Chains A and B, each alone.
Chain A
């Protein structure tokens, strides 16, 4: 019940296109859903996060869509750029806790 399932495993998008990564969870105690971006040789860095009381959050070119009834959330990267090429992880954590449960990651490549 602690799993967070992430798809796709890898994604190739043309420059200027939209990248979409999906995650699903089962633990209804999760109440905070961050996305992390990781470049090779670096630790994950917080990109954007959402709580289940809103259905969408946008920060610049990055948008999280959240569907509480379906227990799914997704990351949309608009106008994808080569500099966005990285591994993206969704994660979730229950109320009051800090323990992050991560998805398996999506390796994004943005081609010119």
Chain B
């Protein structure tokens, strides 16, 4: 089966600019996650969707980050305005549903804010 697709692979922006990342999960996977991985750290969950509804966004900095999953398939994560500390790899993952622990991660988008 095809994996989790993410784009772009790399993005460099200046602070205070906006940026958007796109994720296409594995076909049929109802649950979609966005994780932030800062260099040298483990991934941290930003938001979890079940179909097109938000299950957990407790660690999403809502003043600058937003995410949506239209039609329960693709998802977009946006940062506006970006800060230097947002430099990280943004990983998208999907699974077949709640309680299914077999996450599949995409290769991520590496964001550098200068």
Contacts and interface: CB of A to CB of B under 8 A. Distances in A.
A23 to B, nearest CB: 11
A43 B42 contact: no
B45 A99 contact: yes
B36 to A, nearest CB: 11
A103 B44 CA distance: 10
Nearest to A39: B107
Given A41-B107, A42-B108, A43-B91, 7 more contacts: A44-B91, A49-B101, A89-B42, A96-B99, A98-B55, A98-B99, A104-B41
Interface of B: 4, 31, 33, 40-45, 48, 55-56, 91, 93, 95, 98-103, 105-108
A63 interface: no
Contacts of B48: 98-99
Nearest to B50: A98
Given A43-B91, A43-B93, A98-B95, A103 B102 contact: no
A103 B100 CA distance: 21
27 contacts: A4-B42, A32-B101, A41-B107, A42-B108, A43-B93, A43-B106, A43-B107, A44-B91, A46-B102, A46-B103, A89-B43, A91-B42, A93-B101, A96-B98, A96-B99, A98-B55, A98-B95, A98-B99, A98-B101, A98-B103, A99-B45, A100-B45, A102-B42, A102-B43, A103-B42, A104-B42, A105-B40
Contact of A43 (B4, B31, B56): B4
Contact of B105 (A45, A99, A104): A45
| 10 nearest A-B residue pairs (beta carbon) | A102-B42, A43-B105, A89-B42, A99-B45, A44-B105, A102-B43, A43-B107, A43-B106, A43-B91, A42-B107
A41 B40 CA distance: 13
A103 B99 CA distance: 21
Contacts of B106: 43
Interface bin, chain A: 20 to 34
Nearest to B33: A98
B50 to A, nearest CB: 9
Nearest to A41: B107
Nearest to A103: B42
